[in-house]
Amino acid sequence: MKRFEPFPILELTLMLGAAGVGAFLPGASSAPDGLLWFLAGLSILKLSDVWLPRGDTVGMSSALALGALLLFDVRTVLVSLVVAETIALAPPGRGQKWRSALPSLSAEAVSVVVCSSALVPLGLHPTTGVLLLSGKTLRPEQYAALILVGLLFAALEFSLLQVETAVRDNRPIRSSILGSASYGAWLIAAQASAGILSALMYRKMGAWGLVVGVVMILIMRQSFVLLLEIRRAYNSTIDVLISAMEAQSPGREGVAERHAELCTRVGRAIGLHGRELERLRYAALLMGVGIDESVDTSPLQLDARRSSKIVEGVEFLQDVTPLLRICEDPDDKSSASRSDLVCSYILMSAGVATRTLNVHQLKAIRERVSPRIVREVDAVVGALVESASDMS
């Protein structure tokens, strides 16, 4: 089924707003020295941007955009970003279009404009970067100011990307930002360091200095890509093996996938974020792996019996085990985090709704979850099941 893609009105507004403000800021009358090198670096990094499974990117090029901001005027940087994006989108076969590039580009553009304004109160030149291009040794407070601007730039760009993604996917903005905070903080620090370093090294070594920054960013990119790839490998392997398991039992094909899909939708609607959604999905897929067919009379009556035992030895699924344990024994009052209880309640509600669990299993856990969450989850599950039956 083709997914409806809304017109990227937020991204376009941000982009045009940044361009409008940038047009009023003072700029250089001609292209500054070294711009071409920066353009080449930006294009290489934009070509290397990492596309996340949810459709947006982790902008590896932002660090160099920050470096350019510290050296050139705002208008030059904005034009460079658009040119580099065009170059990066040009190669045939990349499969990326302007629509998909807009979120990161607009986030970068807004961050460039905002941070160029921040350079003034911090005592750095706002447009021409005279301080850095002068080649003078920086004082400690000037280093501190640079680091502050770098962090502001990277944090703003990262947060804007999260907001755009949340708006596009109709998810709560706050939880989207908080949910990505754990890895976001690392990326922000890394982007700020690499960006400042690029500017500092460029003023001492010219294009060779830029190579240092680009190589550093590419090293980060490579390790991030490897991590994403192995996570995708786990994801598809678990999907395939669960399907294989279900293929052994007539009547059970697709049950886990349907359960997982409903759980993910409910979780997203009530504001769960990245890893929470992921573990909810894995828990739904794996709930049935422990079924003993010689005991179960009905093939559609899933439960988590023995499933937690099977999963607990798997490092990647460590945080899935508590959810399965709660579903296994909802009456067990041993300590469980609020998040564990909420996820387990979604798992069981979705299980009842897809007729894979008995209602009585839900009652015990309902008492342990806050009434607000119960209301929210019940409402979303009800609405989703109703719309599914309307469609069928």
Partner 1 sequence: MSREVLRLRLFAGLTLLSAVAALSATLAVQRPAPSPLLIALVLVAAFSEVLPVQLASMTVSITTAVCAAATILLGPAAGGLVTGVSAVPASLMVKEQPILRGSFNVGQLTLAALAGGWVYTLAGGRPLGAAPLTGPQMPGMMLPLAGLAVGAFLINTTFVGAFIAIRSETPFLTVWKSSFVWTVPAQAALAVLALALAQVVASEGIVGLALFVVPLMIARQFYERYMLLKRTYADTVRSLVAVIEAKDLYTKGHSERVAAYSVDIARRLGLGNQKIERIELAALLHDLGKVGISRSILLKSSPLTDEELSAIKMHPEIGARIIENVPFLADLVPLISAHHERIDGTGYGSQLAGEAIPIEARILGVADAFDAMTSSRPYRAAMSREDTVFELTHCAGEQFDRVIVETFIESLADGNFGDSPPGWKITDEAV
Least distance to partner 1, CB of residue 209, Å = 8
- What track of x and - describes contact with partner 1 for positions 104 through 143 (by CB under 8 A)? ----------------------------------x-x--x
**Sequence-distant (≥ 6) Cβ neighbours of residue 215 within 8 angstroms:** none
Is position 293 an interface residue for partner 1 (rule: CB under 8 A)? yes
Is position 317 an interface residue for partner 1 (rule: CB under 8 A)? yes
Is position 194 an interface residue for partner 1 (rule: CB under 8 A)? yes
Least distance to partner 1, CB of residue 218, Å = 10
Is position 240 an interface residue for partner 1 (rule: CB under 8 A)? yes
Is position 216 an interface residue for partner 1 (rule: CB under 8 A)? yes
Stretch that binds partner 1, among 6-14, 182-190, 263-271, 324-332 (CB under 8 A): 182-190
Q: Considering only residues 48, 51, 167, 224, which one is a binding residue for partner 1 as defined by CB under 8 A?
A: 224
Q: Considering only residues 65, 163, 262, 311, which one is a binding residue for partner 1 as defined by CB under 8 A?
A: 311
Least distance to partner 1, CB of residue 187, Å = 7
Nearer to partner 1, 200 or 374 (CB): 200
Least distance to partner 1, CB of residue 163, Å = 23
Is position 244 an interface residue for partner 1 (rule: CB under 8 A)? yes
List contacts with partner 1 (CB under 8 A). Answer: 138, 140, 143, 186-187, 189-190, 193-194, 196-197, 200-201, 204-209, 211-212, 215-217, 219-220, 222-224, 226-227, 229-234, 236-238, 240-245, 247-248, 289-290, 293, 310-311, 313-317
